[in-house]
Amino acid sequence: MSATEAPERIGPYRLLRQLGEGGMGVVHLGLDEEGREVAVKVLHQHVASDLKARDRLTREVETMRRVRSPRVAEVLDADLISDTPYIVTRYAPGRTLEQAVLEDGPLPDDGVIRLARGLCEALVAIHAADVIHRDLKPANVMLVDGEPLVIDFGIAHLVNATRLTQTGMFVGTPGYLAPEIIRDTEITQAADVHALAATVFFAVSGKPPFGSGTFESVCYNILEGKAQIDLAPPWLHDWLRKALATDAGTRPTAASLLRLSRALDPSVTVLREVARDGGTKILDASALNGNTPVDGTRVLDDAAAPAAQGRPSGVRDDDSYSDLLPPVNYVEPERPRREPRQPRQAPAAIVPPPLTGYPPGQAPPYQPGSPYPPPFPDQRVAGYPPPPVTGAGPQVLPPPQAAPPATQTAPPVPTGPSAQARPYAPEQERPRYRTGHPILAGLLLTVLVALACVLPVTVSLFAIVAALCLRVAHYLLGDLAARRSVRGSSGADPILAVLGTPWALIKSAFATLVQVPLAAMFGMCVWGVLVYMGKMGTDPAAAFAAGAFVAGLFLLPGGGAPRKAVARTLTGAIRSPGAGMVVALVVGTVAFFAVMTALSADPSWAPWRPPSVAIDDVVRSLKAKGQDTVVNLIGGLIGDITKRISGAVLPF
C-alpha cells in the first residue's frame, strides 16, 4: 500500500498521514473515535494474501501484549481477520534514534547514558515475558523527550517457540546481528544484549559498530568480534566490550547490563594499556585522569594515585615505585599445533602454481576452481578474510589458523542476490521430512470401504467409532498446535490436553451424531440407484450402500476433522520418502485384494441378518398392526438391527 493508495479510514480509525513504511506494512498516524492520536500499522496488500505473513502479524500482536513496560509501545487494538489486517499501538511523537543521529549527529554523553539505561529497562521487561526481540536497532527505537521507546516486534520470537525462518536464512539487520544468528546456532536472549550494545554504539559514534562495507565484510567483522570500540569514548569501552562479546555465554544479562549502565560516568575513565610495535606496553595518555602540564606529561594527583594503584584513597606507600616501572610484556607460550589426520589413501598430489604477492607461509584465500584445497568447515563459519582495502598502504592479511581434521568440504559462499543467506556452517541439520501422504490416506480409505462391502455391519460400526476418535484427536492436537504457535511448547501441555478431553469428546460426539445420518442418507441413495436403476438384488446393493456409508463418514461435509487427524498421524509416523513408498506399496497391494474380494465374495451381515429377510419380517409385522408406511418401515429396520447388535454385544 503506497501513500497515494492509503484509505481515509480503516475500521473505526481515521488515517491522517503516513509515518513510515517497512517490509511488511505501512505505519499511519490516525485518530480513534475519541480523537486521540494512535499509530496504525497496515499490512501491504501483496503480503496480506500470504498466510505466513498473517501468522507473523499475529505473532507480533501476541508478543507485544505479553510485554508490560513504559519503554515498549503497547498494543491498543488489532484486526487480523479482515481483508486489510492492521494493529494499533500507542503513538510516540518524535524521531527514531537513526533519524536523530543522522540529522543532528551523535548524542551527548548524558543522552547516551539515558539511552543505555532506558533500553536496558525495556530489554529487562521483554526478557521477563520470555521473548526475544531479535531486531533491536536504531530504526526500531523512538526518542520521546530524550527517553527511548522500543517499537516494532515484527520478527520477535518467544524463547521456546518454533522458528519461522527457513534453514540457511536469517531475519534481521546485518549490522546489528549477534554472531550466533549468523552461524544459525541456538539463539538466546543474549542476542538482544549484543544488538542493544550495537545500538548504543551507533548513538555515541554515528557509525555502525562493525563497519558499513559489503555484507560479507560486515558478517566477517561480527563473527570475529572486530567492533570499532575505539571510536566510542573511553568511559564506555568496558561496557561495550562486555555486551559485544563474541561468546554469548560471556555476555551479561539485561538486568546485569542495567546495573552496569547505572554506574556509567563520563567523568571517570579507566587506565588501559596500548601496545606499540608489539613491544613495551605504555599507558594511553588519553585515558588518564589528572593534571596535564604543558609538555604533555600527565601526573596523577594525590587523590587519584592511590586509587589507580588499587589502594584506598588517602593511603600511600612511599617505598613502592612499581607504578613508575613499565609493565612487563610476557611472551605467551606457543600452543602445540595438532597435525591433521592423514587419509588412508591419499589422492594424487596437485602441484599448485607458485605463490606471488603473499607473505611467506601465507596462502591466498580459496576461490572456486582454484588448485588450492578449500578451507576447513570451521574456517568457513568465520568467513573469508575481509575484502582488500582500496587505496594507498599495504594490505594486511589475517594470520593463518590451525586447520582441524578435514571431515567434509563446504560449498562456496554465495555471491550476488543470494548473498543474504548466512555463511555455510557444518552444523546445519537436514530438514525434516514432512508431508501429508494423500495417496496413502486414499488407499487406507479404499481398504476400509472394501471391507465394509464384505462385512457391512461390523465395519460400519468400527468406522463410526474410528471417526469419533479421530475427531477427538484432531480437536485436542489442533488446540495444542494453536497454543504452541503463540507461546511455544510448555510442560503444561499434557495437563491441558487431559483437561480438554471432555470438551473435545462432547464436540466430537455432537459432530458424529450429525455426520452419521448424512452418511446414512448417502448410502440409501446409492442403494436406491443400484436397485432401481442397476437392477441389483437387495442384499448386494445394501452391501455396497454400507461401503458408501463408510466413505461418507470421511468424504462428505463434516468429515474434514477425521481426514486431518489421519494426515497428521501419517506425517508423524513416516519420516522418510523411502518409508512412505514402502508403506504405500504394501497398503496398495492390500487395497487391491480387498476390492477384488468385495466384488466377488458374498457379504456377511453378522451379527445382523440379511436385509431382505429383515425387511420381509418387518413388513409382515407392520401389516399385521396396520402400520404399513415408509416411516414405520425405517423405524422398524433400525429397531431390528439395534436389537440384534445389542443381543450380540452385551453377552460378549
- Measured between alpha carbons, how far is 80 from 82 in angstroms, rounded to an integer? 6
Q: How far apart are the first and last CA of the chain?
A: 68
**Are 546 and 401 contacting, i.e. CB atoms less than 8 angstroms apart?**
no
For residue 620, count CB atoms less than 10 angstroms from its CB and return exposed for 0-12, middle for 13-18, buried for 19 or more: exposed
Q: Strands 131-132 and 141-144, how do they pair?
A: unpaired
Q: Strands 95-96 and 25-31, how do they pair?
A: unpaired
Query: Which of 182, 143, 149, 178 is CA-nearest to residue 165?
Result: 182
Q: Give the type of residue at 498.
A: V
3-class secondary structure, 76: strand
**Catalytic annotation on 318?**
no
Query: Which of 237, 313, 228 is CA-nearest to residue 268?
Result: 237
b/e 148-177 (16+ beta carbons within 10 angstroms → b): bbbbbbbbbbbeebeeebeeeebbbebbbb
Which candidate in 130, 135, 301, 617 is catalytic? 135
**Are 382 and 221 contacting, i.e. CB atoms less than 8 angstroms apart?**
no
Q: Give the type of residue at 101.
A: V
Query: Which of 133, 22, 151, 135 is CA-nearest to residue 91?
Result: 151
Residues in contact with 288: Cβ distance below 8 Å, sequence separation at least 6, in sequence order = 269, 271, 298, 300
Cell numbers at 637, concatenated: 429396520
Question: Running DSSP on this structure, what letter comes out for residue 330?
Answer: P
Residues in contact with 341: Cβ distance below 8 Å, sequence separation at least 6, in sequence order = 405
- Measured between alpha carbons, how far is 147 from 145 in angstroms, rounded to an integer? 6
**Are 123 and 193 contacting, i.e. CB atoms less than 8 angstroms apart?**
yes
Tell me: cis bond preceding 138? Omega within 30 of 0 counts: no
- Measured between alpha carbons, how far is 530 from 527 in angstroms, rounded to an integer? 5
Query: Which of 247, 138, 136 is CA-nearest to residue 192?
Result: 136
Question: What residues does 157 pair with on adjacent strands?
Answer: 132
- Measured between alpha carbons, how far is 641 from 646 in angstroms, rounded to an integer? 8
For cell 539463539, name the residue: 187
- Measured between alpha carbons, how far is 303 from 419 in angstroms, rounded to an integer? 56
Active-site annotation, residues: 135
